[in-house]
Amino acid sequence: MHLFVSPGGVVRYLYDESLDLAALGQLSIERASHVEPTPDGQWTADLTPVSGPTLGPFASRSAALAAEAAWLESRLAGGAFNERGGDA
């Protein structure tokens, strides 16, 4: 897990339950993507909620989730999201 802290003090990271977020202060949790099956049994990661691409198709859900996480982490590491949550 990586925490990304903006100069304004906003903390962002890919949610999982290993960190007690309430300890950081006021929370705002937002969906960044949708991992869904395709009609032919493959999987895609739709990142349009954060102005991203649709990744895939992938043969497994876990592969789609891994691609989703890698794309989001690379954007977070590059500072792509502004203080209010959208793209910079």
Instruction: Dump pLDDT digits (tens) for 28-86.
Output: 888 889 999 999 999 999 999 999 999 999 999 999 999 999 999 898 888 776 544 44
pLDDT at 72: 92
Coil vs helix vs strand at 70: helix
| DSSP, res 25 | S
pLDDT at 82: 52
Angle subtended at Cα 4 by Cα 29 and Cα 23, rounded to the nearest 5 degrees: 55
- pLDDT tops 50 at residue 15: yes
| Residue 51 zone, left/alpha/beta (φ > 0; ψ -120 to 50; rest) | left
Indicate the pLDDT class of residue 20, thresholds 50, 70 and 90.
Answer: confident
